[in-house]
Chain A
Amino acid sequence: MMAQLNINQKIGVGLLLGLLLVASGIVQWSPYHIADQDLSGRLLAPSAEHWLGTDHFGRDMLTRIASAIQLSFVLSFFCVLTSATLGVSLGVITAWKGGRLAQGMDVIVNILLALPGLVLVLLFAAIVPGSLLVLYLAITLTQWVEYFRVSRAITHTIINSPARQLSEMMGFGPWYQFRRHIWPELTHSILTLASFGGANAILTMASLGFVYVGIQPPLAELGLMSVELFPYYAQAPWILVQPLLAIATLVFGFHLLAGNKHDSAH
């Protein structure tokens, strides 16, 4: 698997894995908790005790950033896993069976595609604010459509290919046909979609936090942190930069992993 990745994608994998490991390590061994307040030590500059300084409640920034990065990873992992599984399996089945199922799916996909994803997620967040589960469900609901469309289109061409039809005539079952003919064609696109999906899940969560309808305090979340810390840019610009940098690094890592098809295709 690693051998097929190009250099940029390997850098992306390294960046993301590194971030995940460091963040988990910090959360595990940090002497502070994300909600430990110390009002006499507000907005401290980075020091030996607080490596990244403290925020407006005197909470340790390093621990909070690490915990927020971990949360982003967990959410994007589950969103990608669920939406990819759902989208790919529905896409393959729809392309294979066709008929009524395809018509029904067309209607659903049309509704979902005609609505910008963030608006749908906002609608869900409006009903149950601050619930991680609802956020996960809403993001998955908006993301599976991409996997569905791509895998359906790819499967459609393979179903009609002579190789697959020969397999069927030789008596191989559907599972074998899927593994032998369809799956190898899908993997590359799924990797690209999954990388962008991971980045989008993180962006969506941060965006919701930024307009105050996402994860609620005291949980650490990158978007919420950037909007909470914004009023203190004059006293402590370094703490405002941290969540912004964290989001950008995460998204950058996922974009590297996605590989840039446009730019490599000269």
Chain B
Amino acid sequence: MWTLIKHRIFQLILVVWGVGTLTFVLMRSLPGDMAYRIAASRYGQDSVDSDAAELVRQELGLDASWWQSYLHWLVDLMQFNLGASLVSGLPVIETVQHQLGHSVLLAFTSVLLASLIAILVGVLSAFRQGTLDHSFLWLSTLLRSMPVFVIGLMLILVFAVAWPILPVAGFGTWQHLVLPTVALALSLAAVSNRVVRNNTLKVIRAPFYQFAAIKGLSPSQTFVQHGIRNISVPVIVFIGIQLVTVIEGIVMIESLFSWPGIGHGLAHAIFARDIPVIQGCALMMGVLFVLLNTCVDLLCHWIDPRGAQA
């Protein structure tokens, strides 16, 4: 278990360094004079002159050589000092922390809802072979072909426009959480319900499971005593694999529903070419991803301490 955590910490450091260096290099390799561009995004394209650019250059120390600024920047990074937004001037770390909370809320509720749907549908279609299984297969194939923003758009059209019972977008009450969560959860469950179904089939056809039924346990007892644990490990591992989809889905869904999270912040920062915020958001997403993966690892370890397959 400790090797597992050590591996993850190592990965975390790699991610922070990798994302940081990548954004640093990209920032440096942008065409044109950086001070001029930053001044342009601050004061507007039309009211920039070389005096304003010079001020920005001195303020941000842009005339230092690249390795000096790289070292300087590395030291800042180690102190979690991500600088200030080029546009609003607020410290990035505060903005990002604020957004992270909203994103975690959305990610958590979606994964929870997705697991609920996937486990219900998957177990049901494993036990009831035939028409039900087939219709769920077609439904999941259809949903899987749609990118998450298409599902989101359709939900908006149905539940907010055609039949207005939920708000279109925004943040505030619990109603605002419903549509984004459902959209993301549907897109996740479309894949994972099949995994649940296949693993359930594998378990209920295994000799140990059939033996438990033969020795006289009722179907529900057999399932509770011998089914759940054996089904859950591969399913949780798969949810871990799906975390990439969760993070990517968050970017899309937050932009679509104007949810004030990291993904929305990232899309906005890219649009405004606000490099420190881009870097902060990308860093946070990398960190979030590694942390969630660690949780999945630990959960698997807890359910099945043999741990070899995790």
Contact = CB atoms under 8 A, between A and B. Distances in A.
Interface of A: 107, 110-111, 114-119, 122-127, 129, 203, 206-207, 210-213, 223, 226, 230, 233, 244, 247-249, 251-252, 255, 262-263, 265-266
Closest 4 CB pairs of A and B: A252-B145, A118-B248, A111-B18, A126-B270
A119 B12 CA distance: 16
Nearest to B248: A118
B210 interface: no
Interface stretch (B44-52, B55-63, B216-224, B281-289): B281-289
A123 B286 contact: no
Nearest to A212: B271
B179 interface: no
A255 B144 contact: yes
B251 A118 contact: yes
Given A116-B244, A127-B30, A211-B267, A255 B145 contact: yes
B273 interface: yes
B267 A212 contact: yes
Contacts, number: 124
Given A233-B157, A252-B141, A265 B26 contact: no
Nearest to A203: B147
Nearest to A256: B141
Candidate in A124, A230, A244 with the most chain B CB atoms within 10 angstroms: A244
A110 B149 contact: no
Nearest to A204: B248
A119 B247 contact: yes
Interface of B: 11-12, 14-15, 18-19, 22-23, 26-27, 29-30, 137, 141-142, 144-147, 149-150, 153-154, 157, 161, 194-195, 198, 201, 244, 247-248, 251-252, 255-256, 266-267, 269-271, 273, 275, 278, 282, 285-286, 289-290
18 contacts: A114-B12, A114-B14, A114-B18, A116-B248, A119-B266, A126-B275, A206-B147, A210-B256, A212-B271, A213-B267, A213-B270, A244-B146, A248-B145, A248-B150, A251-B145, A252-B141, A252-B145, A265-B198
> Do most interface residues of chain B lie in helix, strand or loop, or is the interface mixed?
helix
Given A115-B19, A119-B266, A211 B255 contact: yes
Contacts of B144: 251, 255
Contacts of B137: 263
Contact of A123 (B22, B195, B198): B22
Given A123-B26, A126-B270, A211 B251 contact: yes
Contact of B29 (A127, A129, A230): A127
Nearest to B30: A127
A210 B26 contact: no
A266 B137 CA distance: 14
Contacts of B198: 262-263, 265
Given A111-B14, A255-B141, A207 B26 contact: no
A244 to B, nearest CB: 5
A262 B194 contact: yes
A233 B270 CA distance: 27
A208 to B, nearest CB: 9
A218 B244 CA distance: 31
A262 B145 CA distance: 16
B15 A114 contact: yes
Contact of B248 (A207, A233, A255): A207
Contacts of A123: 19, 22-23, 26, 278, 282
Contacts of B270: 122, 125-126, 129, 211, 213
Contacts of A129: 270
Interface centre among B11, B137, B251 (most CB of A within 10 A): B251
Nearest to B281: A119
A252 B275 CA distance: 36
Contacts of A114: 11-12, 14-15, 18, 286, 289-290
B248 to A, nearest CB: 4
Nearest to A234: B161
A233 B18 contact: no
Nearest to A230: B153
Contacts of A207: 147, 149, 248, 251-252
A121 to B, nearest CB: 9
A262 to B, nearest CB: 5
A231 to B, nearest CB: 12
B248 A117 contact: yes
Contacts of B142: 248, 252
A150 to B, nearest CB: 14
A21 to B, nearest CB: 20
Contacts of A244: 146, 150, 153-154
